[in-house]
Amino acid sequence: MRLSILIYDGFTTLDAVGGYEILSRLPGMETEFVAATPGVIAADTRALGLLAWKGFDEVRSTDILYVPGGPGGFAMEKDERFLAKLRDLDATSTWTFGVCNGVGILGAAGLLKGRTAACNWFYQKRLAAHGATFSPARYHRDGKYVTTAGVSAGIDGALYLASLIAGEAVAKALQLGIEYYPAPPFPEKAPLEAPKEIYALIEGFEKSEGREQLAQRPVFEA
């Protein structure tokens, strides 16, 4: 089974590697990071990057298509080459997995029209513009599409997908293996449970398109 994680300039690292830590460890899994052009692809903070060994021309099919989110994802919603590759690989995939606003890239490719999907909470109106219905869940399945809320939720969704592929026992073993038993220092479990001043801070940042501006920072030199 092949797992293809498509990365692009300005992706969020945990969006990509959270689910990777789960799905890449499934028995028999072959994992590849793929980008339009092979090489080091900068993450949103510009402090690190991931190496895409393969370019679009080298990957013609996959079993699991994985699309992370990040500030750079907004540009990818308008990148026809990227969207066309998503459509091509989605036509071959058994599962398509989207994290955070990576779900929006799937929506922009026309893959979620008429479906229900989870995504980062700030993105829900934009998701609706792509013809999808927002689910406030940490992860959601609609047919072969498994989508998740923001960033860390990719781990939850990947564990769920692992259970569908390899069974609950394997998924539980993977959860134990990475010791994923969240116990954060703050009690809020959903955005709307956060204190108003914190919610307003994040909401203001998103409305000012701060995430999109992050992706426009100069790329570090590898």
**Confidence tier at 215 by pLDDT (50, 70, 90):** very low
Predicted TM-score of the model (pTM): 0.90
Domain residue spans of the chain: 2-214
**What fold, for 2-214?**
Rossmann fold (3.40.50)
> How many angstroms separate the CA atoms of 174 and 22, rounded?
6
The values of phi and psi at residue 55, to 5°, are -100, 170
Please state, for a pLDDT cut of 90, what percent of the chain lies above it.
78
Rounded CA separation 66/29 (Å): 14
As a whole number of angstroms, the distance between CA 208 and CA 97 comes to 28
Q: What is the pLDDT of residues 36-70, one digit of tens each?
A: 999 999 999 889 999 999 999 999 999 999 999 99
Condensed to tens digits (0 to 9), the pLDDT of residues 166-196 reads 999 999 999 999 999 999 898 877 777 777 7
Does residue 135 sit in helix, strand or coil? strand
> How far apart are the C-alpha atoms of 213 and 2, rounded to whole Å?
33
